[in-house]
């Protein structure tokens, strides 16, 4: 067993510095690497480029980094839930690249899988395709999108073991598996870290080869963005 376990979040983020490009898992506030984000706030590193489907809310998730002006650029598909984000975007303090959600996932996966680029139909004929190479296959047009290049990938999983194997829960899975192994260093934080051998190999979603560092996170808030319920009839 190759041991990937590190003692804590500080050790997990060793080598992380300002100006780096990061991938962060999560959809809305679901499945975000809460511990890594909170450590980055404490480290006060600046000029980060963050590849993440969303940008958090004003006081949680990536919103915490935005509030301290730690992010230089966001690469996202949807950023609608954050007033501070809006202010920084409109004032020009923050550079924002909006890309289709499936393209975002696939540019991560391409980096993970060793493809330099992929062709996707998404965005053809729209401003997303401007300046990009296009090509016809079987009578349909596609846009060439390149694999992301990132220094660190921060993912959140439900369970993991010391070998770096990961299991995700429900829709907290989202972009997390696609970002594993897609950056130079992948850091996985898990709700429950178990000894190697205690997870069933049949049930593992991401094999430890895609993960460089793993640690058990603390104090997960797991905030619900839109609590929606129905009445018992």
| Continuous H helices in 92-185 | 101-113, 176-179
Partnered with residue 190 across adjacent β-strands are 157, 216
Helix (H, G, I), strand (E, B) or coil at 88: helix
Partnered with residue 188 across adjacent β-strands are 155, 214
The count of residues interacting with other proteins (CB under 8 A) is 59
> Pick from 171, 195, 197, 218: which binds other proteins (CB under 8 A)?
171
Helix (H, G, I), strand (E, B) or coil at 151: coil
Non-local (6+) Cβ contacts of 101 within 8 A are: 53, 77, 78
Binding mask 141-170 for other proteins (x = CB under 8 A): -----------------x---------xxx
Residues 102-131 that bind other proteins (CB under 8 A): 102-106, 108-109, 120-128
Least Å distance, CB 88 to other proteins, is 12
Least Å distance, CB 233 to other proteins, is 10
Q: Is the dihedral of CA 107, 112, 117, 118 positive or negative?
A: negative
Closest to other proteins by CB, 4 vs 177, is 177
Residues of the shown chain interacting with other proteins in the complex, contacts defined by CB under 8 A? 27-31, 53, 76-81, 86, 89-90, 98-106, 108-109, 120-128, 158, 168-178, 205, 222-232
């Amino acid at each position: 067993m190759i041991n990937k376990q590190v003692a804590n979040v500080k050790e997990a983020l060793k080598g992380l510095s300002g100006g780096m490009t990061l991938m962060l898992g999560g959809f809305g506030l679901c499945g975000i690497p809460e511990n890594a984000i909170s450590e980055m706030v404490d480290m006060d590193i600046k000029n980060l480029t963050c590849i993440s489907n969303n940008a958090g809310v004003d006081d949680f998730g990536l919103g915490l980094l935005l509030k301290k002006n730690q992010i230089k650029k966001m690469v996202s598909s949807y950023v609608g839930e954050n007033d501070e984000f809006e202010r920084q975007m409109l004032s020009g303090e923050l550079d924002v690249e909006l890309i289709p959600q499936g393209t975002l996932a696939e540019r991560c996966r391409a980096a993970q899988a060793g493809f330099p680029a992929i062709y996707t139909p998404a965005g053809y004929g729209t401003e997303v395709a401007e300046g990009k190479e296009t090509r016809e296959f079987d009578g349909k047009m596609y846009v060439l999108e390149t694999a992301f290049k990132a220094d660190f990938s921060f993912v959140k999983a439900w369970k993991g073991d010391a070998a770096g194997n990961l299991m995700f829960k429900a829709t907290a899975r989202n972009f997390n598996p696609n970002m594993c192994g897609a950056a130079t260093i992948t850091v996985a934080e898990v709700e429950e870290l178990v000894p190697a051998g205690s997870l069933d190999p049949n049930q593992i979603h991401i094999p430890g080869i895609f993960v460089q560092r793993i640690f058990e996170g603390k104090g997960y808030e797991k905030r619900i963005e839109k609590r929606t319920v129905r009445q018992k009839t």
